[in-house]
Amino acid sequence: MPKYLGKLAVLYQGLGDIEPYQQLATRLAVPLHQSLDAGIQEEFFLAWRDGCLKLLDKELLKKGGLTVDVAPRAGEQRSWPAPKDGALSQALGRKTKTVVDATTGWGQDSLHIFRMGYEVTCIERSPVMAELLADGFARLAQEDWMQRLNLQAPKLLAGNSINLLANLEQAPDCIYLDPMFPPKRKKSALPKKSMTILRDLLGDDDDKEQLFAAAMAATGKRVVVKSPDHAEPLGEPNASFSGKLLRYDVYLKG
C-alpha cells in the first residue's frame, strides 16, 4: 500500500496545465482530484497556488497553505552574501565552505546558510517535503538577484540521510543537523488531527543518534547540531553557541 494512500492527494481545480499535477500524483502514488466532493477522504492536498506548490489542509483550504518560503526571514540581511555573524555562523566555522543540511525540512536554515555564501547541499527523506523543496529551489533560481549573480540554488537529494551521507562524492566541511527533540513539557491536550497527520506525512526523527553517527563518519571537519536550549546534547561537543531559545553544538572530527 502506498505510504500516502488515504491521507494525501493532488488537487487540480482547472487552473493551468494539468500535466504537472498528473506527474506529481504519479511520483507520490496518490490520487489526483479535480474537485472536492463529499466522498473525498484525504486530509491534505498538494496544489500550485500563487505560483508555488503548496500543502493544503482540507479544513483550511482558503487559508493559503504551506509552502517553502525562499525570501529572507525577518531581520536577515537581504544582500548576498549576508554577513557571517551570529551563533549559527560561529558554529559553522570561519573556514567552512561546503555544508550538507541532512535534515532540511522546510528549508529555512538551509536557505539562511546559503544566503551567507556557503555552498549548500540539502537532504530530505520525506517525498512530500522533497517536492515542496524542489519547487522552492526552482523559484529561488528565478529570483533576479540569483540570476544577476549567476548563482545556483542549493542541490537537493531526496532520500534517507543515513544512507545518502555514506555515499557522498566528497566529504563536506560541515554537516548540519536539526533533528526533532522531545518538547520540554508534556502537553495535556492531544495534538490536533491535522497536526498528527502532517507529522505522519512528513516523518519523525526517531533515529537521530544513528544520523549523528553517520554525519560524524561522513563529514570532512565538523558536525553542527541545532537543538532547543533545554535538550541534552547528542554527545560531548567541542563547542556550543547559543541563540534565542536554542543552541548549536559543534563536534569536530578527530
Q: Which residue has the cell 504551506?
A: 66
Which of 13-17, 145-149, 165-169, 192-196 has the lowest average pLDDT? 192-196
pLDDT band at 207 (very low <50, low <70, confident <90, very high): confident
Is the model more confident about 16 or about 62?
16
Is the per-residue pLDDT at 130 higher than 50? yes
Q: What's the full length of the chain, in residues? A: 254
The amino acid occupying position 164 is L
244 residue type, one letter:
K
Mean pLDDT, residues 84-108? 95
Cell of 192: 490536533
Q: What percent of the chain has pLDDT over 70?
A: 89
Rounded to 5°, angle at Cα 154 from 122 and 22: 80
Q: Residue 46: which of 12, 3, 5, 19 has the closest Cα? A: 12
* Confidence band of 183 (pLDDT split at 50, 70, 90): low
What are the Cα distances from residue 165, in Å, to 131, 139, 210, 211? 20, 26, 12, 9
Fold category of 87-185+203-252 in CATH: Rossmann fold (3.40.50)
Distance CA 21, CA 85 (A): 41
Task: Give the whole-angstrom CA distance, residue 53 versus residue 154.
Answer: 18
Higher local confidence (pLDDT), 108 or 179: 108
DSSP code of residue 151: P
Q: Is the pTM of this model over 0.85?
A: yes
C-alpha pair distances (Å), 39 with each of 14, 27, 29, 32, 195: 20, 24, 19, 14, 22
CA distance 105 to 109: 9
Percentage, residues of the chain above pLDDT 90: 66
Average pLDDT (103-112) is 94
All cell numbers assigned to 30? 496518490
Distance CA 201, CA 196 (A): 9
Dihedral class, residue 27 (left if φ above 0, else alpha if ψ from -120 to 50, else beta): alpha
DSSP code of residue 157: E
Q: How confident is the model at residue 83 (pLDDT cuts 50, 70, 90)?
A: confident
**52: how many CB neighbours lie within 10 A of its CB?**
16
Identify the DSSP state of 3. Answer: T
pLDDT at 131 exceeding the cut of 80: yes
- For the four alpha carbons of 12, 138, 161 and 243, in that order, the dihedral sign comes to negative
